[in-house]
Structure 1
Amino acid sequence: MTRSNNIRILCCLAFSGFFATALPARETPVFPLFMDYIGKGNTGVASAKDSRAIFYNPALILMNKETTLGLDITYGNSKTVNQLYGEGMDYVTGITDRIEAKILAIDPFSSANITENALGYFTVNGPLSLSLKLNNWQFSLFHYTLIKFYLSVNVDYSPPVFTDNTDVGVLGIDDLGFNVGFAFPLPIQFVGSKWEYFYWGFSAKFFQRVKGIKNFTDIQSLIDTDPALIMSDISPARAVGVTTDMGFYYTFQNFGMGLSFYNVLSTPLTYYPVEFPVIWKSSSDTEVTAYRDTLSREIAFGFSYLMPHISTVPRQFLRDWSISLEGNDLLNQDDYPELLQKIRLGTEITVADTIRVRAGLYHKSFTFGMGFTIFMVSIDSAYWQEKIGNDTATNWGMRLAIEF
Structure 2
Amino acid sequence: MISETTISTQQKKMIDWAKLRADFPILDQQVHGHPLVYLDNAASSQKPRAVIDCLSNYYEKDNANVHRGIHELSNRATAAFEASRQRVATFINAKTQDEIIFTRGTTEGINLIAASWGSKNIKAGDKILLTEMEHHSNIVPWQLLAEKTGAKLVYIPVTGDEGLLDLSKLDQLLTPEVKLFAFTHISNTLGTLNPVAELCERARKLGVTTLVDAAQSAGHLPLDVQSLGCDFLVFSGHKICGPTGIGVLWGRQEILDNMPPYHGGGEMIVTVDFFKSTFKKAPHRFEAGTPDISGVIALHAALDYLDAVGRENIFKHDQELATYCYDQLAQLKNVRLFGPKTGRAGLVSFLLEDVHAHDVVTVADQRGVALRGGHHCNQPLMKKLGIASTARASFYFYNTRAEVDRFIEVTREIQKFFGA
Structure number with the bigger relative contact order (C-alpha 8 A, sep ≥ 6) is: 2
- By percentage of residues, which structure has more strand? 1
